[in-house]
Structure 1
Amino acid sequence: MPHLPADVRASLRFFAFYLANGTLDTELLDGVDYRPALFRYGSALEQVFAIYGNVLEVDEDGQVLNDGEAQVRAAQWIRAHCDPDYRVEPPFEPWETELHGP
């Protein structure tokens, strides 16, 4: 596959929009101003995108199957990053938080 399918690119684009706009999972992150905590240093933002990308599932035709679930898992990490009393349920599996690349 030479390029990511259009559906995957659209999901990534909307995820980035919601994240930057402060409207990612408004129920879970209500009242949590996460943007300063994520955008100050790149590593937190990198982890958010890693979780989203690791959880995102795509079928053989390139159609995204679970955009909402991927967004919720990323939002859970953000909430835990900003609120030390918040506990992610279920806890993250190692594959969900793995960083890939060089």
Structure 2
Amino acid sequence: MGHLPVDVRASLRFFAFYLANGTLDVDLLDGIDYRPALFQYGSALEMVFAIYGNVLEVDEDGEVLNDGEAQYRAAQWIRAYCDPGYEAEPPFQAWETELHGP
């Protein structure tokens, strides 16, 4: 098994950077400091990365096709988690929120 393609690793790095410094989708999350809610226990952060990874698409050459969409879906989940009045559109499908691994 080889390493993740460079483009995928770069997308993950930028996603983690934006998430950690509070600049993930600034339009959707404007005025919401989600970091304390996500980083306190870990399971919410786990879901954010699961959604990002599940939505992210990569072509046969290892190039990321939809980084913005994957970030936006993760941001929608964060918004719904922090703002009970917000409903993600479209609603999340089971495959988007599935947790993989042991």
Task: Decide: shared fold, TM above 0.5.
Answer: yes
**Shorter-chain TM-score: what band?**
over 0.9
Instruction: Write the letter of the residue equivalent to 1:7.
Output: D
Find the aligned partners of 2:41 and 2:52 in 1 and give their Cα distance: 18
Q: Where does structure 2 lack aligned partners over 5 or more consecutive residues? A: none
Find the aligned partners of 1:27 and 1:98 in 2 and give their Cα distance: 26
Residue 71 of structure 1 deviates from its aligned partner by 0.2
Find the aligned partners of 2:60 and 2:54 in 1 and give their Cα distance: 17
Q: Percent identity?
A: 85
Find the aligned partners of 2:41 and 2:20 in 1 and give their Cα distance: 14
Provide runs of 4+ in structure 1 moved above 2 Å. none
User: What residue is the counterpart of 2:70 in the other structure?
Assistant: 70
Find the aligned partners of 1:3 and 1:17 in 2 and give their Cα distance: 21
Residue 83 of structure 1 deviates from its aligned partner by 0.2
Residue 44 of structure 1 deviates from its aligned partner by 0.3
Q: Where does structure 1 lack aligned partners over 5 or more consecutive residues? A: none
TM-score (norm 1): 0.99
User: What residue is the counterpart of 1:94 in the other structure?
Assistant: 94
TM-score (norm 2): 0.99
Instruction: Write the letter of the residue equivalent to 1:101.
Output: G
Instruction: Write the letter of the residue equivalent to 1:17.
Output: F
Residue 61 of structure 1 deviates from its aligned partner by 0.2
Q: What CA deviation, in whole Å up to 9, does each residue of 1:33-90 have, x standing for no partner?
A: 1000000011000000000000000000000000000000000000000000000000
User: What residue is the counterpart of 1:80 in the other structure?
Assistant: 80
Find the aligned partners of 1:69 and 1:93 in 2 and give their Cα distance: 15
User: What residue is the counterpart of 2:44 in the other structure?
Assistant: 44
Instruction: Write the letter of the residue equivalent to 2:100.
Output: H
What is the SS of the residue equivalent to 2:36? helix
Find the aligned partners of 2:86 and 2:78 in 1 and give their Cα distance: 10
